[in-house]
Amino acid sequence: MKNLLCALLVLGLTACLPENDQSAADAPERPLAMESAPSTSDAEVITTEHADIEEGTSETAATPSANLFPPALLYNGEPIDPLCFAVQMSGEDTLERIDLTPDSCRSDNFTNLEYFSKGPYDRAVHYEYADVEEGMGRPYMMIQYAGPALEGINGEIKHPAIDAEIPVIIRTSGGGTGQFSTLYKMQRVDEETLAITHTLAAGDRCNSGITEAFLDADGDLNYALNLTPYTMVLAGGDEDRPFMDRVEAYDDLDDCAACCYGEAHYNENVLGYITLNENAREMITGKKYSEASLVEQTKQMCFDELIALQFQSGETRFNPAEWETFIGEVEHTCLGRVEGEE
């Protein structure tokens, strides 16, 4: 079987968000990494049966080139077989190390391998589980290296050193509606072992699901997480502030896995800025309220009105200080916070 890999990256964060003490308002640019074909809206993919990747096309490579990955993600000069991750990370036990030897990277439980060469999942491998429960979708696992961007025509790929921590995203589904993502940092321990050093974030779709992750020109890890109305308010100050004890997720503010209202953008775990999601505008416009709700405005309705005003003004991106000010207005106008209340 041809060694195939896809570098790692796992996302994972719950309603708990990293510290928000960075005031930078500008997003880091994804560095140009190598010459490539123009990007398209849809990720290009090659599909084969498990462990049978021998054919390529004019636009995709059957086996990813080793120069796309850092030294830590190579084994005997080739990209690490992605089954090393799929097999060993699919169990329920918390995993600390991944064995890269061939005997630990074999399984008949995975099928329909897809290698993505472009789009949001570049340098990613997608597997489906062979067994499917009746009435459920087919479970899957996707492994992706969150390295320097591949789009562009200038520059060279500058990979981290072999002993540096590297980012990997792992996305999974058990066959239901959940689509879980986790962002990890991993580090090569020796020739045959990769250690999982940090779990940076994890979530399920709008509940802190990871939307992107990449290494910028300085080698810093940048990533973004989805936010619901409830987690947007949490991000507007100290998550443990007493006032939040009176705000109920779901009852007061939407917090569902399909309620993507915004994104929190981080640089090495420090909040850089928050953006409103265009989906929020559509969700607010399409909402239908009961007559009772229209008579007595709910907290969520009030929140939606303030978000709609931001879209109307074109102000949809906030640094941490600006976001705290906006959420302060939300708390006083919609959530019943009184002056001086912590």
Same-domain check for residues 222 and 251: no
Full-prediction pTM beyond 0.75? yes
Same-domain check for residues 270 and 151: no
Same-domain check for residues 252 and 325: yes
* Domain count along the chain: 2
DSSP letters, 51-85, are T------SSS-SS--GGGS-GGGEETTEEPPTHHH
In the listed set 210, 226, 242, which residue is the last one of a domain according to the structure?
Answer: 226
**CB–CB of 128/112 below 8 Å?**
yes
Same-domain check for residues 19 and 70: yes
Domain that holds residue 302: 228-342
Same-domain check for residues 202 and 105: yes
Q: What tens digit of pLDDT does each residue of 246-283 get?
A: 999 999 999 999 999 999 999 999 999 999 999 899 98
Same-domain check for residues 183 and 244: no
In the listed set 165, 191, 226, which residue is the last one of a domain according to the structure?
Answer: 226
Q: What is the pLDDT of residue 204?
A: 96
Q: What is the pLDDT of residue 15?
A: 34
In the listed set 208, 226, 244, which residue is the last one of a domain according to the structure?
Answer: 226
Same-domain check for residues 104 and 123: yes
Which portions of the chain are predicted below pLDDT 70?
1-64, 92, 117-120, 150-156, 288-296
Tracing tokens 């074909």 back to the chain, one arrives at 37
Q: What is the pLDDT of residue 214?
A: 92
Same-domain check for residues 81 and 60: yes
Among 161, 249, 266, smallest CA distance to 212 is for: 266
Mean model confidence pLDDT for the chain: 78
Q: What is the pLDDT of residue 47?
A: 34
DSSP letters, 218-232, are TS-EEEEEEE-HHHH
Same-domain check for residues 114 and 17: yes
Q: DSSP alpha helices (H): ranges in the chain?
A: 83-88, 229-234, 278-286, 291-295, 299-313, 320-334
Same-domain check for residues 259 and 130: no
Same-domain check for residues 106 and 77: yes
Q: What tens digit of pLDDT does each residue of 182-193 get?
A: 999 999 999 999
Q: What tens digit of pLDDT does each residue of 292-312 get?
A: 555 567 999 999 999 999 999
Same-domain check for residues 309 and 253: yes
